[in-house]
C-alpha cells in the first residue's frame, strides 16, 4: 500500500501530476539525476550554515571567529556519521525508510508520531528558511530592490504554492541545472578562493557594516555550543535520499547509497570550504550582505558575471529545496492520514485533492512563519533544528533496535553504527534544545507533543467511528415510508419545481406555509388551485411572526405521530450565475438545514433552481 503511494510520489516528483499515459513507464533515477533531485535541500543549506556559525562567534570578535573552521570540521564529522548511519537504512529499507516508518515499526507508535510531527514541522521550516535565505541571496546582490523581504518571501511561497497546485512538470533535467550549477559555482568559488589565499594574494571583501553584536564580549563555552548547534543546519535534508530509495534505477539500494555518499562528500567539501574561506578573508556577518555573497564579491570581484551567477544559483537551489518540501509534506501527510492519525482529507485517494490540501496547509504555515519572523533566516533557524535532530535520533534509534531484534549477519557492527549515530544526534538534539530553546525552539518543543496528541485523538475518533459503523450484530433500520415537507413562502417557479420533485419521491407531500401575513394567504390559496398539483397545502399560524418555530414544531409533531417514517424536507435552492449573488440568497435554506441537522430520520434536500 505504501509502496504504491511511494511510486505515486516518485512519479509525481519526476513527471509532475498523474497523467494516465505516464502510469505505465515512469522515469527512474540514475545516480546523477538522483543527486540533482534529492540533494537540493542538504546542499543548499551551505548557503546559510556558515553564516549561522559566525553570527554566534562574532560576539568574541575576530579572534573567536577563527574557531569557525574547527566547528565546521566537527559538524562535517557528525554529518559523516549520520550519513554512514543512513546508508544502512537505505540498504535495510529498499522500499524507502522515512523516520516515521522506521521509528514506528521499530520503537513504537509514540516515537513514530513524534518523528512524523517533527518532519511535518521541518518541511514547513524548509520552505520558510530556504525561501528566506533565497531572498537574502537576492537582496545581497541587488540591495536597492525596494521590496520588503517579507513581501518577497511570501510572494515566493505563493508562487511555489500555485506552481505545485497547478502541477509543475518536474524532471531530473529541471532539477539538474540549478543543482549542478550551484555545485559548479560553489566549487569554483572555493577552489579559486583557496588558490588566491595560498598564492599569497588573499582577496578581501568590500567592507560591510557588521551586526551590532560584533566584538561584544567574551565567548563562553555555551556560545561555542550555540555556534556548533547553528552550524548543524548544514545537515538538514540528509533524510531525503533514504526516503527516496525506490525511485532509483536498480539496484536501488546500491545506487541510493552511492548517491548518499557523493552528496555527503559534496556537502562536507562545500561547508568546510566556505567556513574556512570566510575566516581567511575575514567575512563578517552583516544585515545586508550574506557571507557567501561577501566571499563571492571578494573572490570573483564585485559586479562580475561569476558573482551574479553565484547569487542566482544560490537562489535557484534554495527555491528548489523549498520545492522539495512541497512533495515531501503532502506525501508524509498522506501516509500518516492512511494510518488514520491525520484527517482523511490528506489521504491520497487517487486524485489531486489530498495533495492540494497538503500544499495549501504547507504554504499557509510557511508563509505565516515568514511573516511572524520577519523573513529573517537567522530567526527561523532555531526552530528548524529540533525537528531535524529529533527525527535523526528516532530514525537511528529505530534502526539500532531493528538490528538488535532481527540480528542478521554482521548485526553488531550495523547496530554499533546506528547506535553511535543515534547517541551522537541525541547529544546534538540536547545541545540544540539547551542553546536554541530560549531563542524560539521552545515553540517546536511544545508543538511536537501537541501535534502528537492531535494525531492520537484523530486516530481514536476514526476508530470509534469505525466501531459505530460495523455491520456485525446490527439490525438494519426497517424500510419506512417517507413524508415530504416543502416549506414555501409563496408560489413561484423554484417552488413549483421543488414541489414536482417532491411528488416524484413520495406520495405524501405537504407544502407548509407559515402564515405571518393574512393578506398573502388568500392569494396563495388561489395560486394553489393552479399549481399545487396533488400536494396538500398546510398553513401554520405564527402568532409571534417567527417562521422557523412553527415549522420545527410541525416536524416534531410528525415525528411523534409517525415514528417509523422518514421525514424529508425539500427546499428550493437558487444556484446563481455570479458568485457574489450567493450573498443575496439561500441563507434561509442554510438555516433550516442547520436547525434540522441534529434530528435523526430527517433528511434535507435542496432542489437546485438555476438562475441565468
Binding span for its own copies by CB under 8 A among 136-144, 268-276, 313-321, 601-609: 601-609
| Smallest distance, its own copies to C-beta of residue 568, A | 7
How far apart are alpha carbons 487 and 293 in whole angstroms? Answer: 71
H or E segment and range at residue 544? none
Binding span for its own copies by CB under 8 A among 212-220, 411-419, 429-437, 594-602: 594-602
Closer CB to its own copies, 25 or 479, in the complex: 479
Among 74, 159, 416, 575, binds its own copies (CB under 8 A): 575
How far apart are alpha carbons 481 and 477 in whole angstroms? Answer: 12
Contact status: 574 vs its own copies (CB under 8 A): yes
Among 206, 221, 560, 598, binds its own copies (CB under 8 A): 598
Q: What is the DSSP secondary-structure string of 220-242?
A: PHHHHHHHHHHHGGGGTTTHHHH
Phi, psi of 443, rounded to the nearest 5 degrees: -55, -45
| Smallest distance, its own copies to C-beta of residue 382, A | 30
For the segment 234-293, give every residue that binds its own copies (CB under 8 A).
none
For the segment 22-51, give every residue that binds its own copies (CB under 8 A).
23
Q: How many residues in the shown chain lie near its own copies by CB under 8 A?
A: 74
Residue with cell 533557524: 381
Q: How far are the Cα atoms of 325, 355, 389, 603 from residue 484, in angstroms, in the given order? A: 52, 40, 61, 9
Closer CB to its own copies, 87 or 338, in the complex: 338
Which cell goes with 403? 538490528
Binding span for its own copies by CB under 8 A among 30-38, 102-110, 139-147, 592-600: 592-600
For the segment 466-525, give every residue that binds its own copies (CB under 8 A).
466, 468-471, 474, 476-477, 479-482, 491-494, 496-497, 500-501, 503-506, 516
**Quick one: CA dihedral 435, 441, 443, 447, positive or negative?**
negative
Phi, psi of 477, rounded to the nearest 5 degrees: -65, 145
| Smallest distance, its own copies to C-beta of residue 482, A | 5
Which cell goes with 34? 538522483
Contact status: 461 vs its own copies (CB under 8 A): yes
For the segment 188-217, give every residue that binds its own copies (CB under 8 A).
none
| Smallest distance, its own copies to C-beta of residue 587, A | 5
Phi, psi of 538, rounded to the nearest 5 degrees: -115, 125
| Smallest distance, its own copies to C-beta of residue 512, A | 15
Per-residue x/- mask for its own copies, residues 94 to 133, rule CB under 8 A?
----------------------------------------
For the segment 300-359, give every residue that binds its own copies (CB under 8 A).
343-345, 349-351, 353
Phi, psi of 602, rounded to the nearest 5 degrees: -105, 125
Q: What DSSP character marks residue 535?
A: P
Phi, psi of 84, rounded to the nearest 5 degrees: -60, -40
| Smallest distance, its own copies to C-beta of residue 363, A | 18
How far apart are alpha carbons 230 and 313 in whole angstroms? Answer: 23
For the segment 536-565, give every residue that binds its own copies (CB under 8 A).
542-548
How far apart are alpha carbons 152 and 132 in whole angstroms? Answer: 9
| Smallest distance, its own copies to C-beta of residue 465, A | 6
Closest CA to 2 of 101, 107, 106: 101
Closer CB to its own copies, 206 or 350, in the complex: 350
Contact status: 460 vs its own copies (CB under 8 A): no
Contact status: 462 vs its own copies (CB under 8 A): yes
Q: How far are the Cα atoms of 72, 189, 204, 420 from residue 278, in angstroms, in the given order? A: 12, 11, 10, 31
Which cell goes with 224? 561555542
| Smallest distance, its own copies to C-beta of residue 321, A | 29
Amino acid at each position: 500500500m505504501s509502496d504504491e503511494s511511494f511510486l505515486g510520489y516518485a512519479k509525481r516528483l519526476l513527471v509532475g501530476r498523474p497523467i494516465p499515459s505516464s502510469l505505465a513507464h515512469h522515469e527512474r533515477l540514475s545516480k546523477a539525476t538522483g543527486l540533482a533531485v534529492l540533494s537540493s535541500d542538504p546542499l543548499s543549506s551551505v548557503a546559510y550554515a556558515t553564516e549561522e556559525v559566525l553570527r554566534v562567534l562574532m560576539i568574541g570578535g575576530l579572534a573567536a571567529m577563527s574557531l569557525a573552521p574547527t566547528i565546521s570540521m566537527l559538524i562535517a564529522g557528525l554529518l559523516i556519521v549520520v550519513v554512514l548511519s543512513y546508508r544502512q537504512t537505505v540498504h535495510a529499507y529498499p522500499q524507502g525508510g522515512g523516520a516515521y516508518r522506521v521509528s514506528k515499526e521499530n520503537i513504537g507508535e509514540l516515537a513514530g508520531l513524534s518523528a512524523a510531527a517533527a518532519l511535518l514541522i521541518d518541511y514547513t521550516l524548509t520552505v520558510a528558511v530556504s525561501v528566506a535565505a533565497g531572498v537574502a541571496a537576492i537582496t545581497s546582490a541587488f540591495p536597492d530592490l525596494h521590496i520588503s523581504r517579507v513581501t518577497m518571501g511570501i510572494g515566493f511561497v505563493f508562487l511555489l504554492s500555485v506552481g505545485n497546485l497547478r502541477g509543475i512538470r518536474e524532471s531530473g533535467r529541471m532539477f539538474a541545472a540549478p543543482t549542478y550549477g550551484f555545485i559548479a559555482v560553489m566549487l569554483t568559488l572555493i577552489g579559486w578562493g583557496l588558490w588566491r589565499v595560498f598564492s599569497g594574494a588573499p582577496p578581501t571583501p568590500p567592507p560591510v557594516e557588521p551586526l551590532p553584536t560584533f566584538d561584544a564580549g567574551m565567548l563562553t563555552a555555551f556560545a561555542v555550543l550555540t555556534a556548533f548547534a547553528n552550524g548543524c543546519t548544514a545537515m538538514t535534508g540528509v533524510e531525503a535520499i533514504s526516503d527516496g530509495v525506490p525511485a532509483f534505477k536498480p539496484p536501488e539500494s546500491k545506487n541510493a547509497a552511492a548517491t548518499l555518499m557523493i552528496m555527503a562528500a559534496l556537502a562536507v567539501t562545500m561547508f568546510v570550504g566556505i567556513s574556512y574561506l570566510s575566516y581567511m578573508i575575514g567575512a563578517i556577518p552583516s544585515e545586508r550582505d550574506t557571507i557567501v555573497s561577501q566571499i563571492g564579491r571578494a573572490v570573483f570581484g564585485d559586479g562580475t558575471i561569476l558573482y551574479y551567477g553565484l547569487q542566482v544559483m544560490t537562489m535557484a537551489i534554495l527555491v528548489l529545496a523549498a520545492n522539495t518540501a512541497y512533495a515531501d509534506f503532502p506525501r508524509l501527510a498522506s501516509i500518516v492520514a492512511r494510518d488514520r492519525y491525520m484527517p482523511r482529507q490528506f489521504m491520497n485517494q487517487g486524485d489531486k485533492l489530498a495533495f492540494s490540501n497538503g500544499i495549501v496547509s504547507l504554504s499557509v504555515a510557511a508563509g505565516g512563519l515568514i511573516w511572524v519572523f520577519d523573513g529573517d533566516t537567522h530567526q527561523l533557524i532555531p526552530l528548524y533544528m529540533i525537528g531535524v535532530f529529533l527525527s535523526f535520533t528516532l530514525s537511528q534509534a529505530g534502526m539500532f533496535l531493528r538490528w538488535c531484534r532481527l540480528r542478521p549477519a554482521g548485526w553488531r557492527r550495523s547496530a554499533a553504527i546506528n547506535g553511535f549515530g543515534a547517541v551522537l544526534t541525541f547529544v546534538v538534539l540536547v545541545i540544540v534544545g539547551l542553546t536554541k530553546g530560549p531563542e524560539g525552539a521552545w515553540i517546536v518543543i511544545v508543538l511536537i507533543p501537541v501535534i502528537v496528541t492531535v494525531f492520537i485523538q484523530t486516530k481514536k475518533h476514526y476508530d470509534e467511528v469505525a466501531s459505530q459503523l460495523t455491520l456485525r450484530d446490527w439490525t438494519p433500520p426497517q424500510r419506512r415510508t417517507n413524508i415530504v415537507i416543502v416549506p414555501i413562502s409563496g408560489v413561484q417557479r423554484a417552488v413549483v419545481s421543488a414541489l414536482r420533485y417532491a411528488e416524484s419521491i413520495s406520495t405524501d407531500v405537504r407544502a407548509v406555509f407559515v402564515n405571518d401575513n393574512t393578506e398573502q394567504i388568500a392569494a396563495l390559496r388561489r395560486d394553489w388551485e393552479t399549481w399545487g398539483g396533488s400536494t396538500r397545502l398546510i398553513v401554520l399560524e405564527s402568532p409571534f411572526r417567527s417562521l422557523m418555530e412553527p415549522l420545527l414544531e410541525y416536524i416534531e409533531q410528525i415525528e411523534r405521530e409517525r415514528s417509523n417514517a422518514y421525514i424529508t424536507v425539500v427546499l428550493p435552492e437558487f444556484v446563481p450565475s455570479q458568485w457574489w449573488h450567493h450573498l443575496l440568497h439561500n441563507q434561509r435554506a442554510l438555516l433550516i438545514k442547520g436547525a434540522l441537522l441534529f434530528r435523526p430520520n430527517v433528511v434535507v434536500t435542496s432542489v437546485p433552481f438555476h438562475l441565468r
